[in-house]
Structure 1
């Protein structure tokens, strides 16, 4: 934003400076940065809440087309509760309303044996500039196209040709981004399982011993499917299994199963259990509250919108929110600034973002989809083992490390205490600073 230049090489770390790196989620980053530039951290929060709210609205809108309101609202509340882990200020948040809308519209078209709306191509082009998960759009479109084929067979060749054309155009329109095909290739770097995946918690697989509530939800859904004996189309079952695989394989992709499966299965549930359907609910007589809402829905909507904008205005003007010390290490970085610490830093992984924010080149940070590979991540992780001291010493020499910013529970701290010339200069409950006196 400052230089009007799209980055193509790393300028944020001292370990991989100059190596090829693309900001494939550049538009999402620009949106968050614009919010910060205009209103500080309050602006970032409002933008994030708006994206999460839009996701919830779209989900509720499409579910309520098949499930009666109280059921649709209950499902949305459960989904929102379990998916809330990804409702944070990262570019991913902007992809959530898109993936919900993309899935709902495509499966609806397949269900009604219609051609896919080609305006969705503009949506996935936007998605490709917001976040790297846009390649999931290709897969979702393929499942929807398969569902259309299963329903229509080959009785509608013209519409089938439109589905095929749509599928072929999907990857082509996503090339409309500053990096072209590089944006697509970068997403497959992680999907193929690079060395960083094993060391980052959000890329870890589902663990029933620690993910207790998600396990309860999974078992509840499986039990409901078994007890009710609901009949699910094989194409829907295949989509269910695909998203469930992502749920179990990568913690960060649990939201796809949570957000998308209800949209796909809502029609079958409503058809096989009429008491839950919107169609049956519409035929019932309205109670007093429902009649009042219908009569005054314009005024109610207006009050809600005015209240939303009023709350946002108050929040933006008077809020003093800031990132948690747990990730910002504000005390430690203030100490580093007052002491005039300079030179290359060795940092815990979680502090990469705050170092970049303060203009300090990192040893490592969260851009492990493209950088910190070729044995770097494995070596960094091995430093925390019993045999890690020689690796740490070699790294300090190789990268000319002058100081370190570490989590208080970093497994490498005992080695820093033993290294010649190093001493602990600062510590609080969130971070510690070590200085190389050599």
Structure 2
């Protein structure tokens, strides 16, 4: 009888340890099947263009070489390594390359995420957190640099939280991750900031006699991590560049992915948040003070900026896992005696099967950026005009860079600064019409390349000195022409009394 029970435990434990592999494989297959969704953002186009520039010049950019408004101004790319990886992937396999690269990074992220939670929580609870994280991150799962940094984010935060749970300091080897992160994406600054609450959590829960030595070890770790984050082609300027993004002020709420949360309609974020609140109230969940502060800080970020929802989704459960397992008295906890090591043989087998499947799917799954909403035909006409100074819509900037046309403005908002971006937004939307006229004259604009339905486009339709030379349902081109005259006045609907 004893032999039978022992054999049963031995055979079921490996199956349990395969959960991260199955989740990662499932996410990869899902993303590969819907691969065109990863290419839905025009930012992917200019990211690859910058990466190819780096490969061609064997250097990273120090000044702007793309726009005509900021050409020659200081600009660095803190995402240079991710851009190079995307450019290499595109050169090797066309659009399939960036799709596979992004899908692999996201799949690895969820495998690591499930593995970290599985140390504390049961499979059902872990899968619940993983499902919620996938739903919350889904809108921002795109072939852009930030997803290549996701595995680093999960591993780094997991390492800090694990050290805090052990009332210990993280190993210095972990700082290698922050060096990699600093070359992949500017979000590494969040990783540096998170050292402070993790250290405080460890110190608060440590024995009083051990706190002084532990504090010194955390300080050393923080200093080494800070130094490691400067191991980029730009040195400590990478930190300054991230600070420039965070100080864009009034410009950030005008960018969709930076807008605050809006609960005007029911969405995944609100559903997950309400379910979490309901679960906590029903079960009387209590968290240690520092974990409460961590969670509240993550929630504030997610409410203040839409793109921070993914941080809450991936970091929040790591913060909660150990306290939840302890408080729920085993109801949510994993077997404390069980091994949670992933079989490398099993991992290699899964990766091999996925690789074979990826190659085999080449004839059935074709990938290309979503052209709907992109000014493809309009750019073709614009290039025929051979103009140098064109006022473009903000959303068209990335496509213009990829097409070899110097934009007025594009997605590198930190390059243009708060005032420039806000002025352009007010001009194109006619919130301040004077801004439109000022920009047209100040930058000696030869033509405008704006969305057909924008307020500025409608106004130019009726302005002398501007001739509409091309228009479709996406973009309209107005050419500056001194003798252009318009006899028809815009229609003004009388206000109903």
Aligned to 1:286: none
Superposition map of 1:70-109 within 5 A? 70-109=124-163
Which is further off, 113-122 or 123-132?
113-122
Measured after TM superposition, the shift of residue 298 of structure 1 is 8.5
**CA deviation profile, 1:139-166 (whole Å, cap 9, x unmatched):** 2111111111011143224333211110
Measured after TM superposition, the shift of residue 282 of structure 1 is 6.2
* Alignment RMSD: 2.3
Three-state SS of the structure 2 residue aligned to 1:435 is: strand
Which structure 2 residue ranges, 5 or more long, are not aligned? 1-54, 483-497
Change in Cα spacing, 1:316 to 1:329, as seen in structure 2 (3 Å) is farther
Change in Cα spacing, 1:301 to 1:373, as seen in structure 2 (3 Å) is closer
CA distance in 2, matches of 1:107, 1:300: 27
CA distance in 2, matches of 1:176, 1:280: 39
CA distance in 2, matches of 1:200, 1:374: 12
Aligned to 2:288: 233
Q: Does 1:53 align with 2:112?
A: no
Measured after TM superposition, the shift of residue 301 of structure 1 is 5.3
Q: Does 1:277 align with 2:333?
A: yes
Aligned to 2:67: 13
Q: Does 1:175 align with 2:254?
A: no
CA distance in 2, matches of 1:385, 1:145: 47
Change in Cα spacing, 1:158 to 1:234, as seen in structure 2 (3 Å) is same
CA distance in 1, matches of 2:305, 2:266: 12
Q: Does 1:311 align with 2:357?
A: yes
Measured after TM superposition, the shift of residue 118 of structure 1 is 1.0
CA distance in 2, matches of 1:179, 1:327: 35
CA distance in 2, matches of 1:372, 1:196: 10
Aligned to 2:377: 331
Measured after TM superposition, the shift of residue 402 of structure 1 is 2.3
CA distance in 1, matches of 2:71, 2:132: 44
Superposition map of 1:392-407 within 5 A? 392-407=436-451
Change in Cα spacing, 1:423 to 1:117, as seen in structure 2 (3 Å) is same
The one of 172, 194, 197 equivalent to 2:252 is 197
Aligned to 1:425: 469
Which is further off, 209-218 or 5-14?
209-218
Aligned to 2:396: 351
CA distance in 1, matches of 2:156, 2:346: 29
**CA deviation profile, 1:3-25 (whole Å, cap 9, x unmatched):** 11221111111111111111121
CA distance in 1, matches of 2:92, 2:471: 33
Measured after TM superposition, the shift of residue 334 of structure 1 is 2.6
Change in Cα spacing, 1:145 to 1:374, as seen in structure 2 (3 Å) is closer
Confirm or deny: 8 A CA contact 2:179 2:228 kept in the other structure: yes
CA distance in 2, matches of 1:31, 1:301: 23
CA distance in 2, matches of 1:211, 1:17: 43
**CA deviation profile, 1:360-388 (whole Å, cap 9, x unmatched):** 1111101112x222621222122145564
The one of 295, 311, 318 equivalent to 1:263 is 318
Three-state SS of the structure 2 residue aligned to 1:433 is: strand
**CA deviation profile, 1:149-196 (whole Å, cap 9, x unmatched):** 011143224333211110122212111111122111121223234342
Q: Does 1:25 align with 2:82?
A: no
Q: Does 1:120 align with 2:166?
A: no
Superposition map of 1:103-182 within 5 A? 103-156=157-210, 157-182=212-237
Measured after TM superposition, the shift of residue 307 of structure 1 is 2.7
The TM-score, its normalising length taken from structure 1, stands at 0.90
Confirm or deny: 8 A CA contact 2:90 2:98 kept in the other structure: yes
Three-state SS of the structure 2 residue aligned to 1:278 is: coil
Aligned residues: 423
The one of 408, 411, 415 equivalent to 1:363 is 408
Aligned to 2:490: none
CA distance in 2, matches of 1:16, 1:322: 30
CA distance in 2, matches of 1:12, 1:27: 19
Confirm or deny: 8 A CA contact 2:89 2:98 kept in the other structure: yes
CA distance in 2, matches of 1:193, 1:21: 15
Confirm or deny: 8 A CA contact 2:375 2:474 kept in the other structure: yes
CA distance in 2, matches of 1:359, 1:229: 59
Change in Cα spacing, 1:387 to 1:107, as seen in structure 2 (3 Å) is closer
Confirm or deny: 8 A CA contact 1:91 1:131 kept in the other structure: yes
Confirm or deny: 8 A CA contact 1:68 1:276 kept in the other structure: yes
Three-state SS of the structure 1 residue aligned to 2:132 is: helix
CA distance in 2, matches of 1:100, 1:55: 7
